Amino acid sequence: MRDLVKNLKLQMNVRLTWFLTPLFIMSAVALVSAIISIAAIRGGVDVSSPEYMEGARMNMAMLWSFPGFLVYLGVATVATTFPYALALGTTRRAFALGAFASHVLMSAYIAGIMLVILALELLTNHWFISIYLVDIYMLGSGNPFWLAIIVFLVCLTSMSAGAFFGATWTRFGNRGPTVLGIAAGLIIALLVLLLAPYFGEIFANFQTWWLAVLAGVLIVGSVVGEYLCLRNASVR
């Protein structure tokens, strides 16, 4: 447990990156969304109409604004921190657990921020001028439970995948992420090819929990792959 805590502190040493960057990203998305809404109002659009609200609830800017940063951060938690952790005497297992714990904490942090945004959005009737940031279809249409689950899983999946890519670079060098990326692309293409005849039936019977299961599989697979790579990785 002591090694886990030490590695968690090491991972989150740069607090500006961990705690303020997500706020900057969300603030930028909110500012752009506000500008678009104000421009629509000045252009004579009725932002209170059902048609406008229907379209606004499809705005996924807030959902897709941070996964890219989180994938990068996941890579950094392994590729840049692993040598320092080993130099400080930690074990590879403790390092992997500490990295995963930091990913869980970051995912919970972002989910918490999104819940606060949702509460303010509903309290102000969508920021007084029909700005839909998180009260959207892809985040549960204003349901705080689904918003928290979706955001948490998206964040954790992004960081875990990034850590896996970082671990392949640490273990195999530049060819590691390349091979992993090609393999992932081939697997996706093969799945599309195999499932293409059943797409109609799949979409007709689609259940939200399928995505949660998929996210869980990706997270577990990424964490296991990361650890296996780090077991035999040399310090660069």
pLDDT digits (tens), the chain, 236 positions = 666 676 667 777 777 778 889 999 999 999 998 898 888 888 888 878 888 888 888 888 888 888 999 999 999 888 888 888 787 778 888 888 888 999 999 999 999 999 999 999 999 998 988 889 999 988 888 899 999 999 999 999 999 999 999 999 988 888 888 888 888 888 888 888 887 776 677 667 767 777 888 899 999 999 999 989 888 767 65
Q: Which domain holds residue 110?
A: 2-156
| pLDDT at position 224 | 92
Residue 179 lies in a domain: no
213: its two tokens: 């299961």
126: tokens are 């969508």
DSSP conformational letter for 196: G
The whole-number pLDDT of residue 178 equals 86
The H or E element containing residue 150 is: helix 144-172
In contact, 209 and 217? CB cutoff 8 Å: no
- 188 inside domain: no
Does residue 108 lie within any of the structural domains?
yes
Q: Is residue 219 part of a domain?
A: no
Q: What is the pLDDT of residue 236?
A: 59
Are the beta carbons of 121 and 209 closer than 8 angstroms? Answer: no
Domain count, the chain: 1
Its pTM stands at: 0.89
- Residue by residue, DSSP assigns 12-63 as T--HIIIIIHHHHHHHHHHHHHHHHHHHHHHTT--TTSHHHHHHHTT--HHH
